[in-house]
Structures are given as C-alpha cells and as structure tokens.
Chain A
Amino acid sequence: MIPLSWYLLLSAALFSVGLFGVLARRNAIAVLMGVELMLNAVNINLIAFWRYLTPDRSVGLAWAVFVLTVAAAEAAAGLALIISVYRNRDSVDVEELDTLKN
C-alpha cells in the first residue's frame, strides 16, 4: 500500500534537485542534466496520476510518452548547441557565455 502522495513527494524532491542543478551548475552539459531530471519528475507525476485516477484510460500514459519524445528532441538539439558553442568559444561555462549581456 503506497499512497499517491509518496510518489508526488518523490517527484517534487527530484524536481527540486534538478532545478538546483539548472540554476547552480557552471557547465552547460550539467545544466542539461538538471533539465532531464526535472522532466523525469514530471513523468513520475503523470504516471502516478494515471495509475491512481484513470487506470482505465490511456491519457496519462500518452502524455508521458509525449514528454519522453520532447525530452529526446530537447537533448539532441541542446547538446548540438553546446558542441557548437564549444567550437566557437572554446568553453561551455555558462558564466563565460555573456555575448548577449551588454
């Protein structure tokens, strides 16, 4: 017997850890890893609600599959951007990427 709230608490904790990674890391690849953790937390929520509220309808699973698809596309495009930036600026430190700042 596991109450729904335990899954939601796990998901909230995982989301917060990912958020910290996105906000606090210097390396752009580590920032992307934080985004992946946050997307995983969202998927845990979707599937927990599917199991507890609408196990007879596929809406929760379908949402989770779309989140998975978008996460894959996001990872590919994001890493291509990082590699391109690395080639041009010789750095993937987000604090040094300030061309748009001034």
Chain B
Amino acid sequence: MSQQIIFFILAAITLTSAIAVVTMRNLFHAALALMVSFLGVAGIYVLLEAGFMGMAQLLVYIGAISILIIFAVMMTRRMMQTRETPFNAQTLAALVGTLITMAILFVVIGRLYPLAPTTEIPLGAAPQVDPAIIGSSIDQLGRAFVGANAYVLPFEVASVLLLAALVGSIIIAWPRSGEEDNL
C-alpha cells in the first residue's frame, strides 16, 4: 500500500513537471522542470529496486545533461525572452497525434497486462525475488560488461561513440576562423 502511494507521488511529480517542460514559455524554467522530472524518474528506478540506475540517472541526467542544456539555453539567450507563443504552427496536429498515440498505447497495455494490483496472477505485483539476487545485480552487470560472451563489444563501441560525440561536438561548435573576436 505504501509502495502504491510512493508510486503515485513519483508519477505525479514526473508527469506534471514533464508537462511543464513542454508548455513553459521561459526556457530556463523548462530546463529546471526537466531536472525535477528526471528526479522523479530516478525515484521510479529506486522503487523498481534498480538503485544503480537511480544513481546513474542522478549523475548523468541531472548532473550532466541538464547542466549542458542550461548552458545551451544561456548561450542562446535572446531566444529565452518571452515571445508571443512557445509553440509552432503545427501544434494542433501535434496535440491530436500525441493523444492518439497515448490512447493506442494505453489500450494495448490495458489489453496485455493486468491493471489491478494482485498477487493471484503474474505481473499483478512485483515477483518475490531473493534480496541477494537483486543485491548482486550490479555485480552481475559489471561482469556482463566485460564478459567475453556478454556485452564487451557493445561496451567498447559505446566508449568509441562517446569519444566521437566529444570530438564531434567540439568540432561542430568551434568558431570558424576570424570569428573568435566576436565571442
């Protein structure tokens, strides 16, 4: 029961701040709402007993990506000023399409999985698992990332991807020759 209350609080925080992100005029406020939304998602991870993912969410999303977005907002500051509307010309079509998408997803989920909390049928509640198994999931994940018959290749490719993103971002954002004086 207490878990359900925590779930509803976290879901409410996540969704209301997510709606604030997509509707607020002031981009800086939207970025702050985005951080709150990420925090709610981190709480959901903890509720799912994935503590490592919750910490990674705090460090990567709230600590790095949000700060990056706030930097970008500040560097393009003239756009931050309140204009007539934060929405573009296709907003109505976007709203209709989004609502249809959400309705389809809800119907599919409602058909496939039990909606009421119950232990009678599978997936009506989180399966009882030995706490030692959940506790060793980080250990298992670490071994999987370097195991020869697990994810060692994707892991190395991810490091190359991050390096490429790092170098690429610097190259793209580098001022062209003669422009340095204006910065």
Given the interface pairs A10-B15, A27-B27, A80-B172, the reply to whether A15 lies near B105 with Cβ below 8 Å is: yes
The answer, yes or no, to whether B9 is at the interface (CB within 8 Å) is no
Interface residues in B95-140 by Cβ distance below 8 A to A read 95, 97-99, 101-102, 105-106, 109-110, 112-119, 123-127, 129, 133-134, 137, 140
Chain B 1-19 per-residue mask, 1 if CB under 8 angstroms from chain A, else 0:
1011001000100110011
Which residue of chain A is the closest to B59 with respect to CB atoms? A68
Contact flags (1/0) for B22-45 with A, using CB distance below 8 Å? 100001001100100110010011
Complex Cα distance, B154 from A32, in Å, reads 25
User: Given that A17-B22, A29-B73 are known contacts, is A10 also in contact with B102, CB under 8 Å in the complex?
Assistant: no
Chain A residues near B127 (CB, 8 Å)? 52, 55
Bound Cα distance A65, B3 (Å): 25
On whether A77 and B168 interact (CB within 8 A), knowing A3-B117, A83-B173, the answer reads: yes
Closest to B71 in A: A79
Do B53 and A43 touch (CB < 8 A)?
A: yes
From A9, A44, A73, B44 is in contact (CB under 8 Å) with A44
Interface secondary structure of B, over-half rule = helix
| CB contact under 8 A between A29 and B72, given known A5-B114, A24-B88 | yes
Give the Cβ gap from B92 to chain A, nearest Cβ, in Å. Answer: 9
Partner of B158, one of A2, A9, A18, A69: A69
Chain A residues with CB under 8 Å of chain B are 1-10, 12-21, 23-27, 29-30, 32-34, 36-37, 40, 43-44, 47-48, 50-52, 55-59, 61-62, 64-66, 68-77, 79-84, 86-87, 91-95
